[in-house]
Amino acid sequence: MADKNKIVPGNVSGDFFVDTTCINCDNCRALAPTVFGEYGDYAGVKKQPENDEEIHAALRALICCPTGSIGTHEKHDIKAAMAELPIHIDEGIYYSGFNSPKAAGGKSYVMLHAGGNWMTDSPKFHPHVTNWLDEHGGLRYIFLTHRDDVADAQKYAEKYGAKRIIHREDLEAQPDAEIVIDGTEPVQVDDDFLIIPMPGHTEGHCMMLYKNRYLFSGDSLTSNYYRDDGLECWGPLWTWYSFDVQTESLEKLRKYEFEWVLPGHGRQWHVGMPEMKRQLDNLLNGAQHEPPPDWKIKLAHVEAYADYMERSNQPIYAAKQRKIAEEIRAQMAI
């Protein structure tokens, strides 16, 4: 529950507030853009909701906030906002909602499919999600883009007998996954689902192309929600394996056609295929000239990520990140 004694400085006073447990995942700004803004390292209320529609959107954000950082001074009935989750995106694709702190607030999606339903990454294991899945035919597969965002995938797999899919290089995150992807070649699962290994963010990071239209892009490719003007890749501060390898992986996307990008973090992105190709070209050209990171900031990120890996029960990768931190420290001392 959000703490009214820890309200983010700058938060516009009134009913809704954000507290300093916020991890700045952007979810509330995406779900209620007229209400929530950014205040340094936190989200905050930039304008109190003024009508039913804005209250409804703000309550939806409150429900989906991974850290329970959004609170209200007044009592609200959240049933109507809850009933809207998961949120329909296009065809049989839904944003699951209920983002998990175990995935740093990353987004999970569900695809309703005649051959059995799919989930990408995982939301909190929440009765509202399981009731909805029960009503819509359960789950057959859970595609895990990479080790950071597995959250409660095991619980969903156990409840539905679903098969979890993850790359061998990130298997530490889900050691008893039912389907393990090896190497760097794409793997077709059923007719509509193409899993594409895309190392870079982590060694085992993968994307999935669905129906040659929808790219579930994990933590390598997203859209620029600050400028709202196109595709963006994750920068060197956020690539735990290698930014250069990530760029090589993204080159592979030139041969695919898609018009939606559905990222783990950041905003979903929908443009026509020619425009998507143009934006991908821009992105790849920019990535070739990406300057090295500020090593002091990179060191802080790597150390924080190593701690996150420890908390996520992935000691081998935590140790690997600590070694990288040592190497950065040694490089900075030269």
Residues 92-121 that bind ligand SF4 (CB under 6 A): 105
Among 7, 18, 139, 144, binds ligand SF4 (CB under 6 A): 18
Among 7, 11, 16, 22, binds ligand SF4 (CB under 6 A): 22
Among 27, 108, 120, 220, binds ligand SF4 (CB under 6 A): 27
Q: Please tell me the count of residues contacting ligand SF4 according to CB under 6 A.
A: 15
Share in percent of the chain as helix, strand, coil (round to 5): 35, 20, 40
What CA–CA distance (Å, rounded) separates 284 from 232? 9
| Number of DSSP helices (H) and strands (E) in the chain, helices first | 9, 19
Q: Could you identify the residue written with the tokens 């600050």?
A: 226
Smallest gap from Cβ 124 to ligand SF4, in A, equals 13
From 221, 189, 195, select the one nearest 207 (Cα to Cα): 195
Binding mask 42-81 for ligand SF4 (x = CB under 6 A): -x---------------------xxx-xx-----------
- Residue 227, both tokens: 């400028």
Question: 194: how many CB neighbours lie within 10 A of its CB?
Answer: 18
Residue 276 phi, psi dihedral angles, 5° rounding: -60, -40
Among 7, 11, 24, 302, binds ligand SF4 (CB under 6 A): 24
**Does residue 123 have a cis peptide bond before it, meaning omega lies within 30 degrees of 0?**
no
Among 7, 25, 119, 196, binds ligand SF4 (CB under 6 A): 25
Instruction: With contacts defined by CB under 6 A, name the span among 16-24, 226-234, 282-290, 307-315 that binds ligand SF4.
Output: 16-24
- Binding of ligand SF4 by 276 (CB under 6 A): no
For ligand SF4, the binding residues (CB under 6 A) are 18, 22-28, 43, 65-67, 69-70, 105
